[in-house]
Amino acid sequence: MRRVKGASLAVSLMLSAALLGGCGDTPASIERAEVPLPSVRSETVRLEPDEMSQRFPGTVRASERAAPAFLHGGVLRERQVVRGQRVERGEPLATLHNPAMAPTLAAAEARVRELDAGLSRLGRDVERARTLRERNLSAEEELDRLRAEREALAQAREQALARRDEARAQLEELTLRAPFAAEVTDLDVEPGDFVAAGQPILQLAGVAGREVEIRVPAHLAARLEPGQTASVAPTFDAQRIVGEVVHIGRAGETLAPIIVSIPTESAPALGEPVRVRLEIAAPPVMRVPLAAVVDPAGSAPYVLALNDDDTIRRAPVTPGRLAGGWVSVNGEGLAPGDRVVTAGQGRLEAGMRVRVLP
């Protein structure tokens, strides 16, 4: 029994010695072990062209518009169309009564007939004088006089013809005709009313095309180009129509007129309000993943950028527009091509070295 107890005591002493020996080696092992570097993921700062979407109100109108008027004053005798009627090119719209026009044409025609008769008589006189001169029965001067008189009368006839044609054209213009295929959108004068020369009689909207005019700030209009697309949507409809910028007007003090053409077959009704969305080019901007921005909605957002030796530096930024998970930023301590940390920012501090995961 004493031997067993002695053996147990010896084993216990040996185990204690081994434990004490192991504890003595622990500080040296900790000093030799290396602390692992924090692992992060990164993306490269991009420099990309920027675009901003802007919406402007407008109203659908016809590409061709007219307010026909008479060249002379008078009383509106008859109107051959009603509001909303479709008319073709050359179709009569209205007639005017001007009592001075018909007598002017009649007088011009009478003058032409008078000169025609005079020319016919002088022609016979010239032929008779030429025959007498050939027989040496009259003087050369008489023949020359008759020829000169005939020439003057012929010139007078040309002038009379011009006056007759002008009077005839003016009489024809007492009938107002459609300049193109159109729809009558408004009536300005009623039959029996007196109208002055140039006063609009009605309003026409062409059926060949539709467009929208919008007003754009001058600094934005300078970034637009003819031919670029535009999205047109009725105010109370989800429909989207693809339009095209066809005209960029000269800017006034603040706004510039922009004309957007839209397909006739899918265009809203004339006069309907619409919204026009334009993608306007802007100067290139730096973009980083949204995940790289720490506290983006706070008062002092920043990103953690990587130096060439994979150490961390803090770069304050001002976030801008978000698109496709990337946000535009402004920051003096950041440049295109820099690497920014996109994951693991919570345990990092400026100056720390990290391990960048592929």
List the pLDDT tens digit at each of the 358 positions of the chain.
444 444 444 434 444 444 444 444 444 444 445 678 889 999 999 998 877 788 999 999 999 999 999 988 999 999 999 999 999 999 999 999 988 777 787 888 888 898 888 888 888 888 888 888 888 877 888 888 888 988 998 999 899 899 888 888 888 888 999 999 999 999 999 999 999 999 999 999 999 899 999 999 988 888 888 999 999 998 777 788 999 999 998 877 789 999 999 998 888 888 899 999 998 877 888 999 999 999 888 888 999 999 999 999 999 999 988 888 999 998 888 999 999 999 988 788 889 999 998 8
- Asked if 69 and 185 sit in the same domain, the reply is yes
Residue 9 lies in a domain: no
Phi/psi of residue 270, nearest 5 degrees: -60, 135
If one counts every other C-beta atom within 10 angstroms of the C-beta of residue 49, the result is 9
Residue 30 lies in a domain: no
Residue 144 lies in a domain: yes
- Asked if 350 and 297 sit in the same domain, the reply is yes
Distance CA 134, CA 143 (A): 11
- Asked if 295 and 196 sit in the same domain, the reply is no
Residue 26 lies in a domain: no
Distance CA 178, CA 86 (A): 10
- What angle, rounded to 10 degrees, do the helices at 140-172 and 101-134 form? 160
CATH number for 261: 2.40.30.170
- Asked if 139 and 242 sit in the same domain, the reply is no
> What total of structural domains would you count in the chain?
4
Q: List, edge to edge, every strand of the sheet that includes 74-79.
A: 175-177, 92-97, 74-79, 194-195
pTM of the full predicted structure?
0.57
Residue 124 lies in a domain: yes
- Do the Cβ atoms of 245 and 14 come closer than 8 Å? no
Distance CA 288, CA 290 (A): 6
Which DSSP symbol is given to 317?
Answer: -
What is the residue range of 92's domain? Answer: 64-98+174-207
Residue 217 lies in a domain: yes
Residue 228 lies in a domain: yes
